[in-house]
């Protein structure tokens, strides 16, 4: 794809610094999650830490979004808006998605965590979502096809779980902008998929390109809907959802994850 950007070493070093700040922010949020805290409080904690470290929250202001992070609880799949009235309870699960811009370079990452004691079913979903990412990066290197990523995720889900993969939202390129080419499907396009999506899966990733891989899986149906706030995406059947994401650099013979957490 002509629009895939290739970044120089200075840009990649700034990306690494951005990723480190993002990773530290995720670690801080993980420690801050507890019963009784609001998702708006988590947003404030994240924004303060990001800005204190010389970076800016790249989500804030993006397409009119008013917050620094996304906080999606239980049946909320992605893009959950932090709210003062959304108080975390024991047994909840929460997906936190964060974007950081440092010296012109953006990183993007998400994690799903439990609040207090969660059910075995909820933990299994969280673990499976992270494993989807681990499967997706196996053998990934320069000139790998985008479609290989979705193939590995779908193979893992179909062979090992009863979960479903959201097929309306994608991973993506990232770097100077929050979202860049190419789209990264977490699934294999079926016969009904538009031709352009099938063409995307054939795209090969050049060395020194930057992508965000982000499997999004549901406990029940893959179908989702957008809430009244025009941002929050929820599962159509009200069952749990999980999200896991990292930003990585595609290298000649491997990949470098720049948003590693503890």
Global pTM value: 0.96
Q: What is the DSSP string of 162-181?
A: S-EE--S--EEE-SSSSSEE
| Per-residue b or e along 144-154, where b marks 16 or more CB atoms closer than 10 Å to that residue's CB | bebbbbbbbbb
Check residue 184 and give its pLDDT.
97
What pLDDT score does 27 carry?
98
Cis peptide before 182 (omega within 30 of 0): yes
For the CA atoms of the chain, what is the radius of gyration? 17
3-state secondary structure of 243: strand
- Look at residue 198 in the predicted model and tell me its pLDDT: 76
Q: Do 108 and 213 touch, CB atoms closer than 8 A?
A: no
Tell me the β-bridge partners of 217. 165, 242
Q: What does each C-alpha distance from 156 to 130, 164, 212 come to in angstroms? A: 11, 11, 19
| β-strand partners of 67 | none
pLDDT of residue 35: 98
- Residues 24-73: pLDDT tens digits? 999 999 999 999 999 999 999 999 999 999 999 999 999 999 999 999 99
Distance CA 87, CA 148 (A): 39
Q: So what's the pLDDT on residue 133? A: 98
pLDDT value, residue 2: 58
DSSP category for residue 205: P
Query: Which residues of the chain have a pLDDT value below 70?
Result: 1-2, 191-192, 195
What domains lie within the chain, and their CATH numbers? 9-257 (3.90.230.10)
Q: What is the pLDDT of residue 189?
A: 86
Task: Say if CB 85 and CB 2 are below 8 A apart.
Answer: no
Distance of alpha carbon 241 from the chain centroid: 13
């Amino acid at each position: 794809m002509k629009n895939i950007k290739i970044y120089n070493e200075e840009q990649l070093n700034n990306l690494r610094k951005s990723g480190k700040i993002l990773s530290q922010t995720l670690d801080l949020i993980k420690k801050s999650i507890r019963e009784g805290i609001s998702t708006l409080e988590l947003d404030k904690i994240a924004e303060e830490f990001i800005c204190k470290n010389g970076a800016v929250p790249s989500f804030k202001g993006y397409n009119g979004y008013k917050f620094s992070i996304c906080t999606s609880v239980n049946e909320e799949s992605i893009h959950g808006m932090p709210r003062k009235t959304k108080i975390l309870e024991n047994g909840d699960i929460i997906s936190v998605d964060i974007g950081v811009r440092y010296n012109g370079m953006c990183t993007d990452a998400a994690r799903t965590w439990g609040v207090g004691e969660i059910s075995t079913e909820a933990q299994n979903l969280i673990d499976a979502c992270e494993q989807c990412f681990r499967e997706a990066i196996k053998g990934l290197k320069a000139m790998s096809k985008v479609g290989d990523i979705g193939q590995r995720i779908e193979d893992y889900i179909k062979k090992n779980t009863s979960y479903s993969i959201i097929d309306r939202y994608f991973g993506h390129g990232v770097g100077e902008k929050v979202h860049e080419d190419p789209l990264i499907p977490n699934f294999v396009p079926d016969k009904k998929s538009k031709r352009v999506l099938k063409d995307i899966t054939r795209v090969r990733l050049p060395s020194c390109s930057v992508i965000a891989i982000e499997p999004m899986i549901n406990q029940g149906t893959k179908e989702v809907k957008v809430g009244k706030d025009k941002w929050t995406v929820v599962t159509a059947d009200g069952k749990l959802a999980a999200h896991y994401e990292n930003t990585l650099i595609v290298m000649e013979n491997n990949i470098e994850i720049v948003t590693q957490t503890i």
